[in-house]
Structure 1
Amino acid sequence: MKDSAGAWAHPHLDQLGLHQAIIQMVEGFKLEFLAAFGNPDATRAAKRKITTLTQSGTCADYITKFRTLAMELDWNNAALRGQFAQGLHWEVSRQIATRKHRPCTLLELQNAALVIDNALCKERASHPPRDSKPSKGSNPARGTSTCPRHP
């Protein structure tokens, strides 16, 4: 920890658990720290971001971004699962919808989406479009995704 947060925290951490400590328990420390330095609108910001998040690259990237935002929320599994499904790329979502066994938990849905997305990426890589020619200014190494989406 650095700067003012570190200056605030270190004395409290040094005394944590001692009888004379102002903050007696780790949970109390966390609450006090967040009250002093946390973003009071973090939950609202995370909700706004997660409801507008969509899979625009690989599913792995989408899962990482989704999980990061989900940690800021106190949503239940069903709500998270529904929101995750809503942001999936349409091809991935379509294949999940046609499965016999539909995922019941967020983790099952994420794993299924990842397997499907990886298969779609592999399929695209093995069958590149015939009329597609790289433009002069394109640099494949600068792309944002290992599996570009076609509109």
Structure 2
Amino acid sequence: MDLAGTAQQLSGLESRLEDQDHRLDQFAQALQTLLNRTAPTQVEVLPPVNPPPSEPFSVPTSYPNLLPPVRYGGDPNACRGFLNQISIHFELTPWSYPTDRAKIAFVINHLTDKALRWANPLWETDKPIVYNYREFMSAFRRVFDPTGPKTNAAKSLLRLRQGTKSLGDYALEFRSLASELNWNNEALVAVFSEGLNDELQDEVAARDLPEELEDLITYLSYIDERLRHRRNTKERSMKPLVRPLLVQAIDGRPPETPFVLFETQNISVGIGLCHKESMFFHAITSPSYPIVLGYPWLTRHNPVIDWRARQIARWDNDCMASC
């Protein structure tokens, strides 16, 4: 081995290492000089702002016990109610229907008749609309509720009549329809008054009525209740006969309605100052030709009637003694 050559190589390596160390020292000094010339800038490092942790979605342990929506067959009048039931169901149980397709499947599952016939081909052919709940419901409304709630409400309100309903029931239907519209008070009062039954209209024809709808409803409710009470009282004063009575006219022929079916309760009757008694009356549908009323009573009391003066001139002697 050439020891002299090896020693010479080691000496050369050592010399190069010393030269590199010297260069590094010079570089460090130059870098320090540059740093000293630059003004120190303090940068305030703010802690990262983290959004508040969102509450993890979890299925509640208890939720409203909802009845399933009533199956819808395509009736435009029932469309709005059905859609409201669907909306409530999804709002209160969102975890049960996480996707649009799941919601649409639930809706179709509650259709029947022509509504189901409309939805069947959409589902069977896997149309894109059965993956988009908003578009599906928009199409559903266009088919089964094309006029919209306001148009339906306006038509129904103009057609609404009280008929035999109480004013409270009539007002309830009227308010429900009117809530869909932006009609002013004057228009609502006019339409409401037009829908009253004839009996109530006749009763208030000569009265000054309230101008506000709610005041008018309150006022008419009181009058309607009085009319109904009066009508019920009259009906209760009649009682059915155990055996119907055959009626004959003065010439012996039967009238158009030959049977008496009801009689009144006992009524205290006074005629003039001298004659008073308790009696009941038979009720009969008035025929279309004149009849003599109370013929048995007239034969028993035998009054003398002054037809010109329209009064009883005197009574039978037996009547004066016993009545």
The TM-score with structure 2 as length reference comes to 0.30
1:18-69 Cα shifts (integer Å, max 9, x gaps)? xxxxxxxxxxxxxxxxx96986610000011111110021111001000011
Q: Which runs of 5+ in 1 are unaligned?
A: 11-34, 134-151
Q: Distance in 2 between matches of 1:111 and 1:8?
A: 37
128, 131, 156: which one aligns with 1:49 = 156
> Could you list the per-position Cα deviations for residues 109-141 of structure 1 after superposition, in whole angstroms to 9, with x for gaps in the alignment?
1112111110000001111185889xxxxxxxx
Match of 2:205 among 72, 90, 97: 97
Equivalent-residue separation in structure 2 for 1:122 and 1:5 (angstroms): 42
Superposition RMSD in Å: 3.2
Distance in 1 separating the partners of 2:85 and 2:150: 24
CA distance, structure 2, for counterparts of residue 42 and residue 127 of structure 1: 43
Structure 2 residue 70 is matched with structure 1 residue 70: no
Aligned residues: 110
Q: Which residue of 2 aligns with 1:107?
A: 214
Q: In 1, Cα distance between the equivalents of 2:216 and 2:224?
A: 12
Indicate if the aligned counterparts of 1:49 and 1:69 stay in contact, CA closer than 8 A.
yes
Q: 1:116 aligns with which of 223, 236, 246?
A: 223
Instruction: Tell me, yes or no, if the aligned pair for 1:96 and 1:112 is still in contact at 8 Å.
Output: no
Structure 2 letter corresponding to 1:72: E
| Whole-Å separation in 2 of the counterparts to 1:62 and 1:81 | 13
Q: What is the TM-score when the length of structure 1 is the normalising length? A: 0.60
- By relative contact order (CA 8 Å, sep 6+), the higher-ranking structure is 1
Shift of 1:102: 1.9
Return the offset for 1:8. 7.0
Distance of 2:225 and 2:157 partners within structure 1: 23
Q: Separation in 2 of the partners of 1:66 and 1:47?
A: 11
More strand by percentage: 2
Match of 1:144 in 2: none
Cross-structure match for 1:58? 166
Contact 1:55 1:87 in 2 (8 A): yes
In 1: Cα distance, 2:186 partner to 2:223 partner? 21
Deviation of 1:90 (Å): 1.2
Change over 3 Å in CA distance of 1:118–1:41 after alignment to 2: same
Distance in structure 2 (CA, Å) of the matches to 1:3 and 1:62: 29
Which AA in structure 1 matches 2:182?
Answer: D
Q: Distance in 1 between matches of 2:175 and 2:214?
A: 10
Larger radius of gyration: 2
- C-alpha distance in 2 between matches for 1:70 and 1:127: 36
Task: Indicate conservation of the 8 Å contact 1:54/1:88, yes or no.
Answer: yes
Distance 1:89 1:3 in 2: 38
Quick one: distance in 2 between partners of 1:127 and 1:74? 43
For residue 72 of structure 1, report the CA deviation from its aligned partner: 0.6
| Displacement of 1:97 | 2.0
The one-letter code of the counterpart of 1:79 is A
Closer, same or farther in 2 for the Cα pair 1:3/1:87, shift >3 Å?
A: closer
| Alignment pair present for 1:127 and 2:234 | yes
**In 2, Cα distance between equivalents of 1:63 and 1:83:** 12
Taking structure 1 as reference, are residues 67 and 7 closer, same or farther at Cα in structure 2, changes over 3 Å only? same
Call closer, same or farther: CA 1:3–1:41 in 2, change over 3 Å.
Answer: closer
Secondary structure at 1:73's aligned position in 2?
A: coil
Distance 1:49 1:105 in 2: 21
**2:186 paired with 1:81:** no
Give, as a single letter, the amino acid of the residue that structure 2 aligns with 1:116.
I
Q: What is the rounded CA distance, in whole Å, between the counterparts of 2:212 and 2:193 in structure 1?
A: 11
Give the AA of the match of 1:81.
Answer: V
